[in-house]
Structure 1
Amino acid sequence: MHSYLKIHKDDNVLVALRDLEQGTVIDFEGQSFPLIDRVAAKHKFTLTDLHADDSIYMYGVLVGKATKDIPKGGLVSTENIHHASSEFHLGKRKLNWHKPDTSKFDGRTFMGYHRADGSVGTANYWLVIPLVFCENRNIQVMKEALVDKLGYKKAKTYESEVDQLMSLYQAGKSPQEILQADMQASAEKAANKRLFKNIDGIKFLTHDLGCGGTQQDSQALCGLLAGYITHPNVAGATVLSLGCQHAQGHILQTEIAKRDPAFSKPMIILEQQKMGTERNLLQHALKQTFTGLMEANQNERRPAPLSKLCIGLECGGSDGFSGISANPALGYVSDILVSMGGSVILSEFPELCGVEQELSDRCVDEDTAKRFMDLMITYNKRAEDGGSGFYANPSFGNIKDGLITDAIKSAGAAKKGGTSPVTAVLDYPEKASKPGLNLLCTPGSDVESTTAEVGSGANVVLFTTGLGTPTGNPVAPVIKLSTNSVIYNRMPDIIDINCGTIIEGTETIPQAGERILEYVIQVANGEIQPKAVLLEQDDFIPWKRGVSL
């Protein structure tokens, strides 16, 4: 394993691949010098002497400016650099790219659920959703009534741990004794057998929108919900409305028609203010949902080409290894899938700051490039008007683990999109309808962005993490990939795939990419359930436009 890495030939910093002590002699490209500071793994140190206001480059792009002199071998930190990124403009199209070898996957299929609109699902769920937050309680009542009885309750609980704590309390144990007690793990209870063998689950999507905000928020909410209802992983839906809110049923139906003009899935819309009592509403909802499930259960898995996969590319809890291990491995998967006629979605626009020129140049035509640049400019201006531009995107955890400017974070995050041309630029919550690489305007917040990618049609999400995050989604399997082996070994209950092998030098990026795609196919077949699915990590947060980075 090497101790440090230069990512791009034009970079003037090196990345530490392991902890390097002060005084460690660096031998690189014919020069030898000692480290001025201790440099922890994932952090960077200078390859040349830098002066105040000198530019700092990583991944071949501008990622910051020095705020003071930094000697060769000095640690790069928030104490001596600040965010900076290059200006961008409408340039020439750069659409030539090196397509990867796809021979291992040519002719391969997955077993999916075929929909009337031609899309194919990797799962088969029924949705129960509110048009307004006032209906969240009724959604919860339906969940309590349906999930266990129909065989969808997960077996693992922590009830026995609570029983143990109660026993210790009743035995007169002190708080200190209880904290030090050896707790026995819960025995897994046998789950009820599923009544509907072809329905993977019933998902209940609560939220805090629909009324009380702007009409733009309600319109966007209806678009997002329409994206979920028309999603290939969704068999049908029950929609509860209060009646007087901004987000009306006819708006939802208009948004559904935009995405699927010949929409034919079973869908029930019930309005409480028309139905009267809660009992009347819920009895109708339960009966109609049950008969809808009977219809949806007729669909069975059948072979589909890999071109029917639409993969969301996501990251959360990123670290200094994200851009050199897991993210470029996803980029390789992206290029393979695009080469085979599939589609991928890259989002999180605040984390594309600094790579706008490259991505706009890769857009298939000037109109697409202009739309991308306009969305980036408008979004950043809204953030600045609210007192926080893209520069404020990195979190405490990002900074602690080496992503000390937004441009450093962005340059690594963009690697998830591979090298293929950008075929479409989408504004939230538009649907991805073209094969190839789609750019979707979302915040950098991982749950909001994952929610949006699935709403745009991703039937699988690949999610990289360096610090560990449990994020999942109600209808699309979220496959978690670690950027380093330490977090993979520490959090095996939430992470599916280890890409730390790339850092350790035991696997190349293409080898990791092919391994990831093999796993995706198994998930798409229903053979493997990712950890987020097993844990029922059903995160669903609509983006309230302009509030979140």
Structure 2
Amino acid sequence: MSHETSRTIRLHPDDDVVIALQDLPEGTKVADGVTLSGPVNRGHKIALRDIAPGASVLRYGQIIGVATEAIAAGAHVHSHNLGMGDHAQDYAHGSECRPLPAVDEPRTFQGYHRADGRVGTRNYIGILTSVNCSGSVARFIAEAVEKSGLLDAFPNVDGVVPLVHGTGCGMSNANEGYTALFRTLAGYAGHPNFGGILLIGLGCEVMQIPDLIGKARMREDGNFRYMTIQQTGGTRATIDKGLEIVTALADRANAATRAPAPVSELVLGLQCGGSDGYSGITANPALGAASDLLVRHGGTSILAETPEIYGAEHLLTRRAVSPEVGERLIERIRWWEDYTRRNGGEMDNNPSPGNKRGGLTTILEKSLGAVAKGGTAPLTDVLQFGEPVTKPGFHFMDSPGYDPCSVTGQIASGSTLIAFTTGRGSVSGFKPTPGLKLATNTEMFTRMSDDMDINCGDIVSEGVSVEEKGLEIFELLIRVASGTRTKSEELGFGGAEFVPWQIGAVM
């Protein structure tokens, strides 16, 4: 990465473009004696040479698309003259798999030790729903708990979280959509950030509670209860019974206290949303450095959002610990190509309008920046949506690029922390898991300081190194794991971001 001037940055010596670091007017002189032929906004690309129609365009030293028309040196390069092109990669499974060195001095955090051996970073009571039809009653119970002040007697309990969603019925009980929902509900029920769980159903839904509790042990500590509205006697009776159960769950959960645990027990979900042209320069590689630090401590990180690594998946397969792991990732890529085709979409349906306003043009360009969140560690495993993590290291989990849905899968897989990079300014939270917001640029960090936890824009504006910023993120992750509240937690986010992935027909 090199700064050509204080106004632009070139990310790789082979690149055909530089990135504007500020809004630049027509006539501005940039790298290699090139003069802008028109105005270019901050985060957008400028051609360094004449590019012929059909020629590949490089950023990060990688192809981000092909010119759809002749592009002159000094021109703005964006969706009007840059397209996707053919997608073909050399996957070279495992060819660049290099284990990271272990740390010399192990670190600890203050966490909640659970009966199954995992360690939580929070201590919530969850009200989990098997179907949308029980969602309102779950919220009624949570509201009644809050109004009554019931939890005042249990200072070690962080709160009650109603987990309400839009599915659970009108679906097959024998397809991948049902299986994904089952994994999600089971993953939340046993999550170490919950000290207790109440599962509520209506009674007649496809996702039957007896099936859930019969096929999976919901919690090793036994602090789990369930009921259906139909069997309990309707809304009022269920609310009354729910308050009684939550009180009992909270009494047991309150006995848990924070105690030292090795950082190797942490599981970090890596996310980005509202990306811009700075995402692949600042916050994403800095988060990648933090992820590598966690893996070096024996911990676990999970990258996700399969449509948002499309075009950069070869960078992950080359880090796979085995050909089988690499092939599992490519199998998910092929599944997505078929899935989007069948549903009248396309893999280049991303970037979003906001991403494009921020300077990102094709999914290849966005993906190359998004993969940077995964650092350089070997790819240990590829998981289905919500599939439990069973080994330490860097993982990839299959999911949509829709952030609340993707994070829901990461939490179901076991993430006890979320780190979320954003350039446009995403706002969200993910109870029961605390989420850090990492700003890619100083301007947005300043404008939305109530929502952002760390400014990564100083990598460009102040010359802070990616490694220094990665260490700053890592240290804050340890503090948050030990109880420090994030900006999203202070604002009360997390009540609307439980979004299981709906796959298949709604009937």
TM range (shorter): over 0.9
Q: Which residue of 2 aligns with 1:10?
A: 14
SS in 2 for 1:517: helix
Q: What's the counterpart of residue 134 of structure 1?
A: 133
Query: Does structure 1 retain, via aligned residues, the 8 Å contact 2:441–2:455?
Result: yes
Cα distance between partner residues in 2 of 1:255 and 1:486: 50
Which residues of 2 match residues 60-459 of structure 1 at below 5 A?
60-84=61-85, 86-97=87-98, 99=100, 102=103, 106-150=105-149, 194-215=152-173, 216=175, 217-254=177-214, 256-257=216-217, 263-459=220-416
Q: Contact 1:22/1:36 (CA < 8 Å) preserved in 2?
A: yes
Deviations 1:486-536 (A, max 9, x none): 11111111111111100113311011111111111111111x211111112
TM-aligned CA deviation for residue 222 of structure 1: 2.3
- Is the CA contact 2:161–2:432 (under 8 Å) kept in the aligned structure 1? yes
3-state SS in 1 of match to 2:195: strand
1:383·1:546 contact (CA, 8 Å) conserved in 2? no
Of 521, 532, 540 in structure 1, the residue corresponding to residue 488 of structure 2 is: 532
Within 2, Cα distance between the matches of 1:363 and 1:81? 31
Quote the Cα distance in structure 2 between the aligned partners of 1:25 and 1:82: 26
TM normalised by structure 2 equals 0.94
**Distance across 1 between alignment mates of 2:317 and 2:225:** 42
Change in CA separation of 1:529 and 1:315 when aligned onto 2, cut-off 3 Å = same
Return 5+ residue gaps in structure 2 as ranges: none
1:21 maps onto 2:25 in alignment: yes
Q: Distance in 1 between matches of 2:211 and 2:491?
A: 34
What CA distance in whole angstroms lies between the structure 1 residues aligned with 2:98 and 2:501? Answer: 33
Identity of aligned residues (%): 36
Give the equivalent residue in structure 2 for 1:172.
none
Note closer, same or farther for the CA distance 1:94–1:505 as it changes in structure 2 (3 Å cut): farther
Deviations 1:324-351 (A, max 9, x none): 0000000000111111110000000101
- CA drift at 1:199: 0.7
> What one-letter code is carried by the residue in structure 2 that aligns with 1:239?
L
Note if contact 1:223-1:252 (Cα within 8 Å) is conserved in structure 2.
no
Distance 2:449 2:504 in 1: 35
- Conserved? CA contact 1:219–1:251, under 8 Å: no
Q: Superposition pairs for residues 44-55 of structure 1, below 5 Å?
A: 44-55=45-56
Paired residue for 1:467?
424
Write the distance in 2 (CA, Å) between the matches of 1:486 and 1:33: 27
The one-letter amino acid paired with 1:41 is R
Residues 314 and 346 in structure 1, CA contact (< 8 A), matched pair in contact too: yes
For residues 111-166 of structure 1, what are the alpha-carbon distances to aligned partners after superposition, in whole Å with 9 as ceiling and x for unaligned?
A: 000011111001111101211111112112202210232366xxxxxxxxxxxxxx
Deviations 1:51-75 (A, max 9, x none): 1111011122211111100011111
2: CA distance, partners of 1:452 / 1:386: 22
- Between stretches 483-492 and 8-17, larger displacement belongs to 8-17
Give the distance between the partners of 2:23 and 2:208, measured in 1 at CA.
56
| CA radius of gyration, larger in | 1
Q: Deviations over 1:191-239 (max 9, x none)?
A: xxx3211111110011111101333333322210111111111111101
Q: Is the 8 A contact 1:223 1:255 kept in 2?
A: no
The alignment partner of 1:382 has SS state of helix
Q: For 1:461 and 1:399, how far apart are their aligned partners in 2?
A: 25
Q: What residue identity is the alignment partner of 1:218? A: Y
Task: Give yes or no for contact 1:209–1:218 (8 Å, CA) kept in 2.
Answer: no
Give the drift of 1:96: 4.3
Question: Which 10-residue stretch deviates more, 214-223 or 482-491?
Answer: 214-223
User: Is residue 442–residue 449 contact of structure 1 (8 Å, CA) maintained in 2?
Assistant: yes
SS at match of 1:519: helix
Q: What is the CA–CA distance in structure 2 between the aligned matches of 1:377 and 1:325, rounded to whole Å? A: 30
Q: Provide the secondary structure at the position in 1 that maps to 2:41.
A: coil
Aligned residues: 497
CA contact (8 A) 1:239 1:268 kept: yes
- Please say if residues 128 and 138 of structure 2, whose CA atoms lie closer than 8 Å, have aligned partners that are also in contact: yes
- Closer/same/farther in 2, CA of residues 209 and 353 from structure 1, 3 Å limit: same
In structure 1, how many angstroms separate the alpha carbons of the residues matched to 2:36 and 2:185? 53
Q: Determine if contact 1:268/1:289 at 8 Å carries over to the other structure.
A: no
Shift of 1:27: 3.6
Q: 1:83: how far off?
A: 1.6
Distance in 2 between residues matched to 1:454 and 1:255, nearest whole Å: 20
Q: Distance in 2 between matches of 1:295 and 1:274?
A: 26
- Give yes or no for contact 2:71–2:81 (8 Å, CA) kept in 1: yes
Partners in 2 of 1:265 and 1:48 — Cα distance? 66
Instruction: Check conservation: 2:269, 2:411, Cα contact below 8 A.
Output: yes
The aligned counterpart of 2:39 is 38
Q: Give the superposition deviation at 1:265.
A: 3.4
Deviating more after overlay: 91-100 vs 389-398: 91-100
Return closer, same or farther for 1:18/1:97 CA change in 2, 3 Å cut-off: farther
Structure 1 pair 255/228, CA: closer, same or farther in 2 (3 Å)? farther
RMSD across aligned C-alpha pairs, in angstroms?
Answer: 1.8
For the residues of structure 1 that align with 2:475 and 2:142, how far apart are their CA atoms? 34
Paired AA for residue 59 in structure 1 = Y
Identify unmatched segments of 5+ residues in structure 1. Answer: 153-193
